[in-house]
């Protein structure tokens, strides 16, 4: 019987991070083998082993390990996962950190290293609950300038 | 393959230059400073330092990184003793006896014992490496590409099994690392592969962007999100008089404990993937069991500090045994050393001592110099490092982020490196939040770049026929042992979880 209790169990299990991770690994591995690697690999003409052998082999490992992870948890009697938290909080924090980090990195070549550095320092210190503005200003100004001077002047490596 | 004496002497001469000694000393100082600041650790510092080594000669570059690796193990004990906050994860056990000693007004004695036992354990492990590397290389050279490919698979299985709470999760993380390592060019005809039209990716995803992103930015993002940076203890006042000193008699009184811990640390370090924290725990437990006064452990005994620090420091030298003989890094620091060697055009593996014997003995000399620097700099600067431990990581993190950005920019030569740094920073946060092993992902990413060669050769030798693998019993043995270990540990973990669930 596929009653409400079973449905609840399934929903519980779907929330299980191992199953989700395993399924994602299988999907990613399959996509790599079926579409991404063939589309993104120029076939070698004289090579003894095809150019796509290694990505396909490692994608195969991803599929097998992901499948084993998912299946072993699907057939588990209870939710035994004892690792990380499965919550919307993680997704939100991940999205925020992803957007902030990528935006900061993308801004550096456009507006320059020092202005980006000042913004990063201010945001980082505020996120870490530093509320003394003298320290925020001191660190936010000196850090980017010191790093810029170290690379530009000492090492002679140009920064954006 | 006996190593000729002139190669050893030339290797030593190459390493003993003023510039190299200065670089090693700078690495040790940086390592101790980083280790002393809670929230930062040795692998993070190595990841940040890798781009700076692009412009150095290979010996100086590796010496600098080895110095950081060794210095960080000493530095980690400083806040553990003074503030009950371990500077590095492996110094966690040091807090058990180190901080109670500091509370009794013996912080100086505890710091000196931690420092000396750390250097002792490290030196012992280095001696084992120097002696064992060449004979092990001879054994490793008897193996062909099929066996080499199988050994790398076995190593990954061992790491997946021993790091983290579920070996299958470890394998997923490792597989993803391998997939990312396949981005770049196919080795035979140098045709682009998985580069998505970005010519910057034709040399592969830069190690610097992945290492600094996952290891450093990911850790900072996680520390901010989980509010880990404010968990710090209060600094105890400095000790005075006899309590600030460690006599030779006190040092010699724990020589057996240090030796036992050094042996434990070396054995654990030689197995890829097992961390320093486990070595410290086992070293401490063994010392407690062997002690005539086990009741004093945990209440502030100098023996406990010696046992822990000798064990966790002995791991660092031994970790290089699999790296220099098989090309398999034992931990994240060794993985970055492997990456740095590859960047300098040197591929570690069974033939390294035969082909680059002089360089290997230069590295060994740098390790010996690093131990000497550790002894001197640690001794002279112990009080200063105590002051550094007071600095909150809050004020260091912004500068670390900027150093990562600058490193990614100069190593990849453009904005792609920065974008990758941001992506891998967020990915590093996700790995930590989902309790995946960052260590195994990075090791697999670095190892993946060299695994392809023996694997491709193995495919050619076996003509892609698995049945032909039976002609290589050693390789089959390693593959089965790796798979068996994962299966065993998987069922063992489930069994243990069930027991916990029932109770």
Q: Is pLDDT of B8 > 80?
A: yes
C-alpha–C-alpha distance, residues B25 and B68, integer Å? 9
Q: State how far Cα B87 lies from the chain centre.
A: 15
Give chain B positions within 8 Å (CB) of A159. Answer: 406, 409-410
CA distance B75 to chain A (A): 23
Q: Is B401's CB within 8 Å of A41's CB? A: no
Please count the structural domains in chain B. Answer: 1
Element spanning B248, H or E = helix B248-253
Query: Looking at residue B53, what DSSP letter applies?
Result: G
With a pLDDT cut of 70, the percent of chain B lying above it is 93
**Which pLDDT tens digit goes with each residue over A19-59?**
888 899 999 999 999 999 999 888 877 778 888 899 999 99
Instruction: Find, in chain B, the residue whose alpha carbon is nearest to that of A157.
Output: B410
Q: Is B459's CB within 8 Å of A18's CB? A: no
Give chain B positions within 8 Å (CB) of A28. Answer: 176
Average of per-residue pLDDT across B494-503: 62
Q: Is A105's CB within 8 Å of B418's CB? A: yes
**B192 beta partners:** B185
pLDDT for the residue A77:
55
**Which pLDDT tens digit goes with each residue over B292-330?**
888 888 888 889 999 999 998 888 888 888 888 888 887
pLDDT for the residue A142:
93
CA distance B311 to chain A (A): 28
pLDDT for the residue B503:
52
C-alpha–C-alpha distance, residues B423 and B217, integer Å? 10
Structure tokens at A88: 């919307």
- Specify whether the CB–CB gap between B342 and B150 falls below 8 A: no
CA-to-CA separations, B308 to B28, B89, B95, B313, B363, in angstroms, rounded: 20, 12, 10, 9, 26
pLDDT for the residue B19:
92
Give chain A positions within 8 Å (CB) of B497. Answer: 80, 82
Q: How far apart are the first and last CA of chain B?
A: 57
Q: Is B175's CB within 8 Å of A85's CB? A: no
CA distance B415 to chain A (A): 6
**A108 beta partners:** none
- Specify whether the CB–CB gap between B106 and B121 falls below 8 A: no
Least CB–CB distance from A55: residue in B194, B399, B423: B194
Q: Which residues contact B35 (CB under 8 A, 6 or more apart)?
A: B41, B42, B71, B72, B73, B74, B75, B76, B77, B78, B87, B88, B91
pLDDT for the residue B248:
86
**Which pLDDT tens digit goes with each residue over B351-368?**
888 888 888 899 999 999
Give chain B positions within 8 Å (CB) of A124. Answer: 220, 224, 397-398, 401
Among candidate residues B321, B455, B329, B188, the one with its CA nearest the CA of residue B341: B329
Q: What φ, ψ does residue B185 adopt, rounded to 5°?
A: -125, 145
**B193 beta partners:** A41, B184
**B185 beta partners:** B192
Least CB–CB distance from A121: residue in B52, B398, B498: B398
CA distance B338 to chain A (A): 20
The three-class DSSP label of residue A41 is strand
pLDDT for the residue A5:
52
CA-to-CA separations, B54 to B51, B208, B400, B438, in angstroms, rounded: 5, 11, 19, 24
Q: Is A147's CB within 8 Å of B403's CB? A: yes
Residue B220 domain boundaries? 5-502
| Residue B58, number of CB atoms within 10 A of its CB | 19
- Specify whether the CB–CB gap between B283 and B265 falls below 8 A: yes
Q: Is A17's CB within 8 Å of B436's CB? A: no
| Residue B394, number of CB atoms within 10 A of its CB | 21
Q: Which of B157, B182, B464 to mutate to test the interface with A (most CBs of A within 10 A)?
A: B182
**Which pLDDT tens digit goes with each residue over B105-146?**
888 888 889 999 999 999 999 999 888 888 888 887 788 889
Alpha helix stretches (DSSP H) within B142-188:
145-162, 167-181
Query: Looking at residue A129, what DSSP letter applies?
Result: T
Q: Is pLDDT of A1 > 50?
A: no
C-alpha–C-alpha distance, residues B269 and B275, integer Å? 7
CA dihedral for B114, B120, B123, B127, sign (positive or negative): negative
ipTM of the complex: 0.83
- Specify whether the CB–CB gap between A115 and B235 falls below 8 A: no
> Is the model more confident about A146 or about B316?
A146
pLDDT for the residue B234:
63
Q: Is pLDDT of B428 > 60?
A: yes
C-alpha–C-alpha distance, residues B190 and B36, integer Å? 45
| Torsion of the alpha carbons at B370, B375, B380 and B381, rounded to the nearest 10 | 60
pLDDT for the residue B240:
67
Give chain A positions within 8 Å (CB) of B452. Answer: 54
Q: Is pLDDT of B178 > 90?
A: yes
Q: Is B402's CB within 8 Å of A52's CB? A: no
**Which pLDDT tens digit goes with each residue over B151-161?**
889 988 888 88
Q: What φ, ψ does residue A120 adopt, rounded to 5°?
A: -60, -45
What count of CB pairs under 8 Å joins A to B? Answer: 231
Q: Which of A49, A75, A100 to mutate to test the interface with B (most CBs of B within 10 A)?
A: A49
Q: Is residue B231 very low, low, confident or very high in pLDDT (cuts 50, 70, 90)?
A: very low
Query: Looking at residue A156, what DSSP letter applies?
Result: -
pLDDT for the residue B104:
85
Q: Is A54's CB within 8 Å of B460's CB? A: no
Question: Average pLDDT over chain B, rounded to whole?
Answer: 84
CA dihedral for B441, B447, B449, B454, sign (positive or negative): negative
CA distance A55 to chain B (A): 6
Q: Which of A44, A65, A112, A150 to mutate to test the interface with B (most CBs of B within 10 A)?
A: A65
pTM: 0.84
Q: State how far Cα A145 lies from the chain centre.
A: 29
Give chain B positions within 8 Å (CB) of A136. Answer: none
Least CB–CB distance from A101: residue in B193, B395, B422: B422
C-alpha–C-alpha distance, residues B443 and B212, integer Å? 13
With a pLDDT cut of 90, the percent of chain B lying above it is 19
Q: What is the residue whose two structure tokens read 């042992």?
A: B481
Q: Is B436's CB within 8 Å of A84's CB? A: yes
Instruction: Find, in chain B, the residue whose alpha carbon is nearest to that of A24.
Output: B172
Give chain B positions within 8 Å (CB) of A59. Answer: 175, 179
Give chain A positions within 8 Å (CB) of B206. Answer: none
> Is the model more confident about B238 or about A127?
A127
The three-class DSSP label of residue B193 is strand
CA dihedral for B387, B84, B280, B447, sign (positive or negative): negative
Least CB–CB distance from B193: residue in A40, A76, A124: A40
Q: Which of B21-35, B187-201, B406-420, B428-442 has the highest mean pLDDT?
A: B21-35
Instruction: Find, in chain A, the residue whose alpha carbon is nearest to that of B228.
Output: A128
Q: Is residue B232 very low, low, confident or very high in pLDDT (cuts 50, 70, 90)?
A: low
CA-to-CA separations, B5 to A23, B10, B133, B295, B357, in angstroms, rounded: 56, 9, 15, 51, 11
Least CB–CB distance from B179: residue in A32, A72, A128: A32
């Amino acid at each position: 019987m596929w009653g409400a209790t079973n449905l609840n169990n399934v929903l519980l299990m779907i929330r299980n991070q191992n199953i989700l991770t395993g399924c994602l690994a299988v999907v990613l591995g399959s996509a790599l083998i079926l579409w991404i690697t063939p589309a993104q690999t120029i076939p070698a003409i004289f090579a003894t082993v095809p150019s796509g052998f290694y990505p396909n082999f490692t994608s195969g490992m991803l599929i097998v390990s992901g499948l084993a992870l998912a299946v072993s948890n699907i057939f588990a009697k209870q939710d035994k996962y004892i690792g990380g938290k499965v919550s919307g909080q993680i997704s939100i924090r991940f999205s925020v950190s992803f957007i902030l980090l990528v935006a900061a990195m993308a801004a550096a070549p456009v507006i320059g290293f020092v202005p980006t550095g000042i913004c990063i320092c201010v945001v980082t210190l505020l996120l870490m609950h530093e509320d003394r503005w003298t320290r925020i200003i001191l660190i936010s100004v000196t850090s980017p300038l010191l790093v810029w001077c170290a690379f530009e002047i000492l090492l002679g490596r140009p920064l954006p | 393959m006996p190593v000729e004496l002139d190669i050893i002497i030339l290797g030593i001469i190459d390493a003993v230059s003023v510039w190299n000694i200065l670089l090693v000393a700078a690495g040790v100082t940086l390592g101790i400073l980083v280790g002393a600041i809670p929230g930062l650790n040795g692998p993070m510092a190595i990841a940040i330092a890798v781009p700076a080594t692009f412009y150095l000669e290979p010996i100086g570059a590796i010496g600098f990184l080895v110095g950081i690796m060794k210095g960080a193990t000493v530095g980690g004990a400083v806040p553990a003793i003074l503030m009950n906050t371990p500077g590095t994860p492996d110094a966690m056990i040091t807090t058990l006896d180190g901080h109670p000693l500091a509370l009794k007004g013996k912080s100086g004695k505890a710091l000196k014992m931690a420092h000396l036992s750390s250097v002792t354990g490290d030196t012992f492990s280095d001696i084992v490496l120097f002696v064992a590397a060449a004979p092990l290389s001879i054994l490793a050279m008897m193996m062909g590409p099929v066996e080499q490919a199988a050994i790398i698979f076995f190593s990954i299985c061992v790491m997946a099994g021993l790091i983290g709470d579920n070996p299958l999760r470890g394998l997923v993380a490792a597989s993803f690392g391998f997939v990312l390592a396949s981005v770049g060019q196919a080795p035979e005809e140098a045709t682009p592969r998985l580069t998505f039209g970005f010519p910057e990716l034709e040399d592969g995803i830069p190690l610097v962007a992945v290492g600094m992103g996952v290891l450093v930015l990911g850790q900072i993002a996680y520390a901010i999100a989980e509010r880990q940076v404010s968990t710090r203890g209060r600094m105890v006042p400095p000790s005075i008089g006899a309590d600030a000193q460690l006599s030779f008699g006190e040092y010699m009184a724990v020589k057996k404990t240090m030796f036992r811990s050094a042996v434990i640390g070396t054995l654990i370090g030689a197995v890829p993937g097992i961390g320093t924290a486990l070595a410290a725990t086992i070293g401490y437990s063994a010392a407690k069991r062997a002690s005539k006064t086990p009741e004093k452990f945990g209440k502030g005994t100098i023996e406990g500090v010696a046992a822990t620090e000798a064990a966790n420091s002995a791991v660092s030298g031994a970790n290089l045994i699999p790296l220099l003989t098989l090309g398999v890094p034992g931990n994240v620091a060794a993985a970055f050393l492997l990456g740095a060697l590859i960047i300098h055009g040197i591929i570690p593996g069974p033939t390294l001592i035969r082909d680059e014997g002089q360089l290997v003995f230069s590295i060994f000399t740098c390790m010996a110099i690093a131990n000497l620097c550790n002894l001197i700099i640690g001794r002279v600067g112990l009080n200063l490092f105590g002051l550094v431990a007071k600095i909150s990581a809050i004020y260091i993190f912004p500068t670390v982020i900027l150093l990562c950005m600058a490193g990614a920019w100069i190593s990849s030569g453009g904005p792609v490196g920065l974008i990758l740094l941001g992506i891998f920073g967020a990915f590093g946060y996700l790995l930590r939040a989902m309790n995946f092993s960052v260590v195994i992902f990075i090791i697999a990413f670095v190892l993946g770049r060299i695994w392809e060669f023996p694997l491709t050769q193995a495919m050619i030798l076996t003509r892609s026929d698995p049945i032909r693998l039976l002609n290589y019993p050693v390789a089959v043995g390693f593959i089965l042992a790796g798979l068996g270990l994962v299966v065993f540990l998987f069922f063992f973990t489930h069994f243990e979880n069930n027991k916990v669930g029932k109770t």
